[in-house]
Structure 1
Amino acid sequence: MDINTVTELIRNPSDRPGQDWRDGDAWLAGGTWLFSDEQPRLRRLVDLTALGWDTLTAGPEGLRIGATCTIRELYAFAAPADWTVGPLLRASCEAFLASFKIWNSATVGGNIVMSLPAGPMITMTVALEATYIVWAPDGTERTVDAVDFVTANNRNVLAPGEILRRIDIPITALRKNYTHRRFTLTKMGRSTLFMIATQTPGRDDLLLTITAGTTHPVRLAFDAMPDAEDLRAAVDAIPADSWFDDPNGTPDHRQHLARHFAEDIRIELTGGVA
């Protein structure tokens, strides 16, 4: 779609582009959402792809994902053999309601800052205990826990002029055991609920992340595997106004799915003991 209110495109921004931020600006990376709808408030686009940020950097501390890394690049990433969650990275990419053309342009950072309940990069990074590096217009940076970044449907903690620079996933999370459940109304449809559970090897803990069915990510942490009653109580303790309501599912339906999948996961991780 043509955005006829835009009068300027910054193709070669400064290394810290937020310094020149002004009202009416928008960061441009993949642009897959930006060019899909009217943007009447926009006057200028700032092209981040020209900055040449590293996309994926694997090291002894974990995985660094540049905000402009495309979904295609993440999907093609060959994780080290001892990173047990390697297949989860690909599964999260497959959770996109998007064509291969979108995969080639859409970015990890763009999906996160859109802050939609069904954003699979949000699900993945929250479940893997990631932190986000955020650049401020004054040249400073701050670290935000992934679980705290999205605050509501299409809302997050970014202030005007701030930019998501990088996602850091710790090595401890990359070596965890995991399982996941995802429900859609149609085979290739948008997620009604996306749930990921991780567990430290050799331990009985549980970290359960619930997204798509809630307006913001919910992460339930247990030092030891809960029984069925305690796990259901934890799901039921999620505030009623946190369950998302759209054509893909009512709040009651999504809560029901969360209860069902949580117990299914518990049974799987305890070796099939109901």
Structure 2
Amino acid sequence: MDLNTVVEVRDARRRDSWQAGDAWLGGGTYLFSEPQPGIRRLLDLSRMGWQPLHEDAAAGLEIAATCTVAQLSRWGRSARWRAAPLVEQCCRAFLASWKIWNMATVGGNLCNALPAGPMISLTAALDGRCRLLGQDGGERTVPVDRFVTGAGRKVLRPGELLRSVQLPARALAARTAFRQASLYGLGRSGALLIGAVDPVDGELTLTVTAATVRPIRLRFPVAPNAAAVREALDEAIAPADYFDDIHGSPAWRRHLTYHFAEQIRRELIEEQN
């Protein structure tokens, strides 16, 4: 789609003061998918030269905001981390054409903050931390599950840029379980849950996305039974937290959340004993 309100596209390497109507341009798959009447200038990140993925055995994996879904998928298929299969599972949870697959960026998926964003699901479940760069030259880090605060809402300040997401080595070494459902084949996720067992202390984490307006993370230091998981879900997710749109009703999403949570608990706890 043409954006007929845009009057300038500028290389993001040129540091200019942030103006009303500015927007960062990564892959552009969202920006060019619908009218953006408030945008006057695009700051193009494509020439920043950021390495898409930087892997370190001790530190883990740093994913540049400009890394594409296709690049991350290729890494996931060859990586030797125990949690590597989760990367491909989340990449395949996209409702995406070949063009979007090769242009859409990890950073764009996070910054859109849509409940069904699978890069949000992946990075939240693996203890991801967002590295944010401010217009004043300052830098801060925010956990992914706190970066997204609601449907389409995130903690970005005006002009702030998501530079990368860091996945720690400890999280990448975890055993994981993945569950996802849509109302129809290849449809947008109605519920996407990920479980992970810490390789050091055995803590179980359960991350709920797509069903809820923001990522919900539950931690179980001691292996839970079915009742403990249900009680934790009851306390953590209010009725208003379940997302409601044409891709699924809140009641259906809630049902899937409890159903998948129990499946994950059994897979990661009971079937390992």
Which runs of 5 or more structure 2 residues have no equivalent in the other structure?
Answer: none
Give the equivalent residue in structure 2 for 1:182: 180
Corresponding residue number in structure 1 for 2:111: 113
Which residue of 2 is the match for residue 24 of structure 1?
21
Q: Which sections of structure 1, spanning at least 5 residues, go unmatched? A: none
Q: Secondary structure, in 3 states, of the residue corresponding to 2:109? A: helix
Tell me which amino acid in the other structure corresponds to 1:267.
R
Following the alignment from structure 1 to structure 2, what is the Cα–Cα distance between the partners of residues 12 and 270? Answer: 47
Aligned partner of 2:260 in structure 1 is 261
**How far does the alpha carbon of each residue in 1:211-267 deviate from its partner, in whole angstroms, 9 at most, with x for none?**
000000000001011111111111122111111011111111111111111111111
Contact 2:129 2:141 (8 Å CA) reproduced? yes
Letter in 2 for 1:135: L
- Count of paired positions: 270
Taking the aligned partners of 2:245 and 2:38, their CA distance within structure 1 comes to: 26
Distance 1:250 1:148, change over 3 A: same
Once the two structures are TM-superposed, the CA of residue 200 in structure 1 deviates from its matched residue by 1.9
Q: For 1:224 and 1:174, how far apart are their aligned partners in 2? A: 20
Cα pair distance change 1:79/1:143, threshold 3 Å: farther
Residue 39 of structure 1 is matched in structure 2 by 36
Aligned in 2, Cα 1:146/1:12: closer, same or farther, shift over 3 Å?
A: closer
Indicate the RMSD between aligned Cα atoms, in angstroms: 1.5
Summarize the Cα distance change of 1:221–1:79 in structure 2 as closer, same or farther, 3 Å threshold: farther
Distance 1:223 1:101 in 2: 42
Tell me the distance in 1 between the aligned counterparts of 2:265 and 2:86.
Answer: 18
* Matched position secondary structure for 1:253: helix
Q: Is the 8 A contact 2:170 2:199 kept in 1?
A: no
Asked if residue 6 in structure 1 is aligned to residue 6 in structure 2, the reply is yes
The farther-off stretch of 207-216 and 262-271 is 262-271
Aligned counterparts of 1:20 and 1:28: Cα–Cα separation in 2: 16
- Distance in 1, matches of 2:169 and 2:202, equals 19
Q: Which residue of 2 aligns with 1:73?
A: 71
Give runs of aligned pairs for residues 187-266 of structure 1, distance below 5 A: 187-201=185-199, 203-237=201-235, 238-266=237-265
Match of 1:135 in 2: 133
| Paired AA for residue 256 in structure 1 | H
1:57 has 2:54 as partner:
yes
**Displaced runs of 4+ in structure 1, greater than 6 A?**
none
| TM, length-normalised to structure 1 | 0.95
Gap change, CA 1:200 and 1:71, over 3 Å in 2: same
Question: What CA deviation, in whole Å up to 9, does each residue of 1:130-175 have, x standing for no partner?
Answer: 1010000000100001110001100000011001001000000000
Name the structure 1 match of 2:124.
126
TM-score (norm 2): 0.95
Matched residues in 2 for 1:27 and 1:68: separation? 11
Q: Quote the Cα distance in structure 2 between the aligned partners of 1:63 and 1:79.
A: 14
- Cα 1:12–1:125 change in 2 (3 A) is closer
Q: CA deviation at 1:44?
A: 0.4
- Alpha-carbon distance in 2 for matches of 1:159, 1:204: 36
